[in-house]
Amino acid sequence: MFRYYLGLGFRSLRRNPVLTALMVLTLSVGVAASMTTLTILRGMSGDPIPQKSDRLFVPLVDNRPAGNGPATDPEPPSQLTLRDALALWDSGRGERGTPLYGISPPIDSGRPDLPPFFSDGLAVGRDFFAMFDVPFVHGQSWTEADDQRGARVAVISRGLAERVYGPGVNPVGQVIRARDEEFQVIGVIADWNPLPKFYRLIGSQTFDTSEDIYIPMRTAIAGEFQVNGNVSCNSTPPAPGFRGLVEGECNWVQYWVELADAGGRREYSEFLDAYVGEQKALGRFESPLNNRLYDVREWLDVREVVSDDTRTSTWLSFGFLLVCLVNTVGLLLAKFSARPGEIGVRRALGASRGQIFRQYLTEAGVIGLVGAGTGIALTVGALAFIRDFNQGIAQLTHLDLPMMTVAVVLSVASAVLAGLLPTWRACQVVPALQLKSQ
């Protein structure tokens, strides 16, 4: 019977085409507005690494002077000094750990048709790739010995490999020149763009693509690769330039640690407290104990990845959808109220009110189904406009299959909800009165 009602619903679209077009357009505009903001919100608020987000942590310590500590801002600095990051790394605590900071070395391909260009990169530890489940297409990460001796090796992205060596070429074992220095390529990673870019929320766009070149941390320090990111100093560096960053109380290095399980959090927190106590005995860390240990989801909240403006926009878009539903109710009332004779004949021939109710509610659902198609098209167009307008969130502006499914369900459910009152009114037609008027 439902198939029969569904056929009637599609045939009824040809009746009052102007009224039908208004209903479809009204509903689709509301769905498009809701789905556009919901798609962006979903990308911003999703868990970028759900398989281990409760085991990856950002440790922070407060190295601010006594007069500029928790009393002025309860949150400690969002990065570490190089000294502290290397100390946590060398401690061996946790399953894995990696310091990181942004670099942007010029790449020289050695080809006359490709002039030197700057490439976004990171100085990291070898555990970076295993910690964050970075996929490789060729080769692998460097060894622990490479980390310790500051080897001149590099892992590059597939995009950089294709740009420098050509499509389909495996560059493992070849040399790449970065900042006029030669690095041996030992690995090529596949396309890897976690959303949000949780591992580097400071000094990088939150929804940007991943980096193109990765070199060992100690190699970058020894070569004085300049920082491409945020730097904040609590005092005047003891030396100018990069050496001052290395030796001073400047926060410019991020650190991540992977624990065996969520239960190891307390143990690592105690280790962090003990480390700060040792540094206090050496005359550092004048502020009261003010450590933090954030897992991935907490870190996203601390960094306010999802802004209040985004949440407000989403609620406003659903409010606009509600206004569209109210208008759709009025249009459906006009559409169904023009057919009392048809309803009277059907009732006289034995159709129950329940059957009439199901038929007309199915017609409303068909309008929602057609509106879903139009709404998806409008959503794709709106996301494309946002993508061109704001490149910073370009990765969030793609409508995938799950969100298309949500759009269809939302549109049909909205149409059915809007059709409840008009359908109920249609069921109140008295057959005898309608037959007399025919």
pLDDT at 64 over 80: yes
Q: Does 301 reside within a domain?
A: no
The pLDDT of residue 377 is above 80 = yes
Of 238, 265, 290, the residue that ends a domain is: 290
Judgement on whether residues 325 and 362 belong to the same structural domain of the protein: yes
Q: Say whether pLDDT at 274 is over 90.
A: yes
When mean pLDDT is compared over 215-219, 305-309, 411-415, the highest value belongs to 215-219
Residue 162 falls inside a structural domain: yes
Which whole number is the average pLDDT over 388-397? 74
Assess whether 43 and 66 both reside in one domain: no
Specify the pLDDT at position 337. 62
279 and 338: one domain? no
Domain presence at residue 300: no
Last residue of one domain, picked from the residues 290, 317, 344: 290
For the chain, the three-class secondary structure string (H helix, E strand, C coil) is CHHHHHHHHHHHCCCCHHHHHHHHHHHHHHHHHHHHHHHHHHHHHCCCCCCCCCCEEEEECCCCCHHHCCCCCCCCCCCECHHHHHHHHHCCCCCEEEEEEEECCEEECCCCCCCCEECCEEEECCHHHHHCCCCEEEECCCCHHHHHHCCCEEEEEHHHHHHHHCCCCCCCCCEEEECCEEEEEEEEECCCCCCCCHHHCCCCCCCCCCCCEEEEHHHHHHCCCCCCCCCEECCCCCCCHHHHHHHCCEECEEEEEECCCHHHHHHHHHHHHHHHHHHHHCCCCCCCCCCEEEEHHHHHHHCCCCCHHHHHHHHHHHHHHHHHHHHHHHHHHHHHHCCHHHHHHHHHCCCCHHHHHHHHHHHHHHHHHHHHHHHHHHHHHHHHHHHHHCHHHHHHCCCCHHHHHHHHHHHHHHHHHHHHHHHHHHHCCCHHHHHHHC
Determine the average pLDDT of the residues in 43-51: 86
Asked if residue 378 belongs to a domain, the reply is yes
Specify the range with the lowest mean pLDDT, choosing from 69-73, 337-341, 364-368: 337-341
**Which range is least confidently modeled, 38-47, 104-113, 212-221, 399-408?**
38-47
In sequence order, what are the beta bridge partners of 118? 106
73 and 220 together in one domain: yes
Confidence of residue 351 (pLDDT cuts 50, 70, 90): low
> Both 157 and 209 in a single domain?
yes
In this structure, are 138 and 259 located in the same domain? yes
- How many percent of the chain have pLDDT more than 90? 43
| Average confidence (pLDDT) over 257-280 | 92
Pick from 236-240, 387-391, 409-413 the range whose average pLDDT is largest: 409-413
- pLDDT digits over 10-36, tens only? 666 667 777 778 888 888 899 999 999
Residue 435: the pLDDT is 42
**pLDDT at site 437:** 47
Residue range 295-306: mean pLDDT, rounded? 91
- Give the Cα separation of 57 and 299 in Å (integer): 8
Is residue 298 assigned to a domain?
no
- Are 119 and 145 contained in the same domain? yes
153 shares its domain with 247 = yes
Better-scored residue on pLDDT, 2 or 107: 107
pLDDT value at residue 255? 97
Average pLDDT of 423-437? 54
Residue 295 lies in a domain: no
- Here the tokens at position 205 are 């766009």
Q: Which of 65-79, 144-158, 177-191, 251-265 has the lowest mean pLDDT?
A: 65-79
Q: Does any domain span residue 275?
A: yes
One domain, residues 261 and 128: yes
User: Residue 41: its pLDDT value, please?
Assistant: 84
Q: What's the confidence (pLDDT) of residue 368? A: 82
Q: What is the mean pLDDT of the chain?
A: 85
Same domain, 359 and 233: no
Residue pLDDT, tens place only, 141-173:
999 999 999 999 999 999 999 999 999 899 999
The pTM (predicted TM-score) of the whole model is: 0.81
pLDDT band of residue 346 (cuts 50, 70, 90) is low
Segments forming the whole domain that contains residue 95: 62-290
Nearest to 302 by CA among 353, 252, 254, 354: 254
* Domain contains 56: no
Task: Give Cα 121 distance to the centre of its chain.
Answer: 20
Structure confidence at residue 433 as a pLDDT band (50, 70, 90):
very low
Number of domains in the chain: 2
81 and 175 belong to one structural domain: yes
| pLDDT the model gives residue 353 | 63
Q: What is the pLDDT of residue 273?
A: 94
- Which among 290, 321, 353 is the end of a domain? 290
Neighbour count for residue 37 (Cβ, 10 Å):
23
Quote the CA–CA distance of 406 and 50 in Å, as a whole number: 21
Average pLDDT over residues 332-347: 60
The sign one gets for the Cα dihedral 283, 285, 289, 295 is negative
pLDDT above 70 (res 277):
yes
Q: Average the pLDDT over 175-200 and give the result.
A: 93
- Is the domain of 325 the same as that of 239? no
pLDDT of residue 356: 65
